[in-house]
Homo-oligomer: A and B are copies of this chain.
Amino acid sequence: MFSPVESRRLYRQAADQIRVMIASGELAVGQRLPAERDLAEQLSVSRPTVREALIVLEVEGLVNIRMGSGIYVVRQHAAKAAASDREPVEGPFELLQARAIIECAIAEEAAGCAKPDGIAGLDEALMRMSGGVNDASAVLAADRAFHTGIAAIVGNATLIRVTGEMFDMRMTPYFARLASHFEGPNTWRSALDEHRTIRDAIAAGDAAGAKAAMRTHLTMSQKRFSESFGEEFSGEEKRGHNKGRAKGTAKT
């Protein structure tokens, strides 16, 4: 039960303390906070640290900083847990499983309502993907465009957003570092072929085929990754993120 220690950065701690003061009502809405220099003294930190903490609160919309005048409380509670500093929490394996379940269903749905312009969107992404197998970032962007493009065929903004967010979860430094060990033209080409299979099934209105193709694609992605994963990291746990078994994510 030790506190996770965590060694949080100082300005975060300072921001938390001020946040608590505001939430508890100790600092009423509309009231002016103590001057930066006074806050620094009260919190036993330097003024730059206080400034950084206040900027955090300002971005969160809790306070309003008026130069020359002071800092004023705007509202009591952070509007929402934007949770931008939240870690992925989930491991790569869980992420791929979730994508398999969700994106299969989306592909199935898309096959039932595919229109020419939607298919054209997929084709455009495929073309960009095949044209830049040597440019990692370009291929990655095209990969993302393909997956969100399927959601776009359904014409549902929520699906597009959710699909994109799940894709982006592998953009963390941790995943990126792992990916750099195995991403290459060959794996991208395999992924591209699987993409084409999905595209064709959707274009043909074959719901079951699209679902199966998407499942195959994500399963193969996992396989591709876990193979090179085993080479580079023989079972070691690199960081604390991946809870259970740490398999991998791969090109999708």
Contact = CB atoms under 8 A, between A and B. Distances in A.
A129 to B, nearest CB: 16
Given A72-B176, A75-B171, A94-B157, A162 B102 contact: yes
Main secondary structure of the interface of A (DSSP, over half): helix
A64 B30 contact: no
Contacts of A90: 156-158, 161
A95 interface: yes
Given A29-B171, A89-B161, A156 B94 contact: yes
Interface in A118-145: 137, 140-141
A161 to B, nearest CB: 7
A85 to B, nearest CB: 5
A99 B154 CA distance: 13
Interface residues of A, number: 66
Contacts of A52: 51-52, 55
A67 B99 CA distance: 31
Nearest to A109: B101
A1 interface: no
A56 interface: yes
Given A98-B156, A101-B106, 6 more contacts: A29-B171, A30-B171, A74-B172, A90-B156, A101-B105, A102-B162
Interface of A: 9, 11, 25, 28-31, 48, 51-52, 55-56, 58-61, 64, 66-67, 69, 72-75, 78-85, 89-91, 94-95, 97-99, 101-102, 104-106, 109, 137, 140-141, 154, 156-159, 161-162, 165-166, 168-169, 171-173, 176, 179, 243
9 contacts: A9-B67, A64-B172, A69-B173, A79-B85, A80-B161, A80-B165, A101-B106, A102-B106, A102-B159
